[in-house]
Amino acid sequence: MNKPKDIKIIILLGQSNMEGHSWTSYLDRHFPPELVNYYTSPFKTEIAYNCDNGNNESYDEFVPVRVGQGYDSTRFGPEIGIAAHLEKAQRSDEFKIIKFAIGGTSLEVFWRSPSSGIPGLCYVFATNYAHRMLTKLKRDGYNPTVSAILYMQGENDSVDGGHLQYEKYLQNLVNDLRNEFKDYAPKAGIYFIDGLINDAEFWTHHEIINTAKRNVAKSDPKNIIVDTLTPQLSFSNEPDFEIDWAHYDSDGTIKLGHLFGEAVTEHIK
C-alpha cells in the first residue's frame, strides 16, 4: 500500500464576500489581457466548494480553482487571489481548499458555534461539509491536515444587533472550530485567519465588529488579522446596472484573495 500523500487544507468560511459576488465579466476593466487570461484560467490548486447552500457547488469533488466558484457561475470569490498567490510562491501543490459560504448570514444566528448555544445552520452545514471532504481526501490516498481556517464575515452582525456579543461569539467560534478539526490539526496548530469588514458607514457598527476581531486575534498567536482597510479595496463601481455596495468589485476581491494568500504563506510553513 502506498503511503498517504501529505496535503495542507485551507478551509474558507463566511458570508457573501467569502462566497464571492464579484463579476468575472468586469476583470478586463482592471487588468491587462494577459492577466485577465491568467485569472480566468484554471489554477493548479484544487478546491471543493459549496456556495449559497448548494446552489453553486462542486458536488463533493475537488476541482481546479477557477472563476465561477462564487455565488453563481458568473462570479468568483477570494479563492482566485489565494490560488494565484500560492502559485506565485511556488506552493500550489502543498494545499487544497475547502470552501463553504452563504451570503447574508450572521455569526449570532447562522455561524453560532456550540459554546454559544444551539449551533447555527451555517456552522452545522459547514463543519459537516468539511468533514465529508476531509474523509474523501483520506479515501483518495491523502493525509490531510487542516492548516488554516480563513474567515470573512461580520457585515450582517454590524447592522442587526449581533455586534453586542460578537467578540464572545467569535472567540467561541475559533475555539470550537479548532476542537472540531483537532484530529486533523498539525503540530503547530490550526491558524484562524480573519478578514476585517469594510468600514463603509452602511455597516453601522463596523468599528465594534473589527475591534472584536482584533481582540480575538490578540488572544492567540495563531489568530491572524487580514487588514482589508489599508489597501482600500474597491466596492463602489460594479455592476453597471446597479452598484452593489455590499460587495467588493472584481479587482477588490482579487486583492482580498492575495491578502489571505499572503497570510497563509507567511504563517504556514
Query: What number of residues does the chain have?
Result: 269
Q: What is the mean pLDDT of residues 116-138?
A: 99
CA distance 44 to 157: 35
Segments forming the whole domain that contains residue 243: 5-267
Which helix or strand (DSSP H or E) is residue 8 part of? Answer: strand 5-14
pLDDT in tens, 25-74: 999 999 999 999 999 999 999 999 999 999 999 999 999 999 999 999 99
What the block records as the C-alpha cell of 64 is 481546479
CATH number at residue 16: 3.40.50.1110
pLDDT in tens, 4-31: 999 999 999 999 999 999 999 999 999 9
Instruction: Name which of 5, 18, 19 is nearest 196 in CA terms.
Output: 18
Q: State the total domains in the chain.
A: 1
Between the CA of residue 99 and those of 144, 172, 176, 221, 226, what are the distances in Å?
Answer: 15, 20, 18, 24, 18
Site of grid cell 495542507: 8
Tell me the longest C-alpha to C-alpha distance in the chain: 58
pTM: 0.98
Count Cα atoms within 13 angstroms, Cβ side, for 27.
26
- Three-state DSSP class for residue 77: coil
pLDDT category at 2 given cuts 50, 70, 90 is: confident
**Chain mean position to CA 50:** 12
Write down the pLDDT at residue 187.
96
CA distance 168 to 108: 10
- Give the burial string for 254-265 (b: 16+ CB within 10 Å, else e): bbbbbbbbbbbb
